[in-house]
Amino acid sequence: QVQLVESGGGLVQAGGSQRLSCAASGSIFSINAMGWYRQAPGKQRELVAAITSGGTTNYADSVKGRFTIFREKATNTVYLQMNTLKPEDTAVYYCNLDYETTWGTTETYWGQGTQVTVSS
């Protein structure tokens, strides 16, 4: 059993900042990568940013230079610092965990999602 506890999100004005966090716990042997995806109404879920166990990061072009993903290994927590937010960043943001289970399989797990709304 794996748990992902997301926090952050809410309403913010354009140009403002927010930080999302996602803490993973449970039957996790090791983490391959953690990331954030988002889904706006009527659109497909898309990758926002991800970070591997080795610290390699990957960002969507639309957020490069504005968002930063970083992690706290000791607590299996990943953060998404979002600056200079735009109305088009409005979406439900989902935490994603790619991990090795304690019984030797590779699994993916999703958080419940947190709403980010950017007003113009």
pLDDT in tens, 32-91: 999 999 999 999 999 999 999 999 999 999 999 999 999 999 999 999 999 999 999 999
- 102: left (phi > 0), else alpha (psi -120 to 50), else beta? alpha
CA atoms within 13 A on the CB side of 89: 33
Rounded alpha-carbon distances, angstroms, from residue 64 to 48, 89, 105, 112: 9, 12, 33, 25
Question: What percent of the chain has a predicted confidence (pLDDT) above 70?
Answer: 100
Q: What is the pLDDT of residue 28?
A: 94
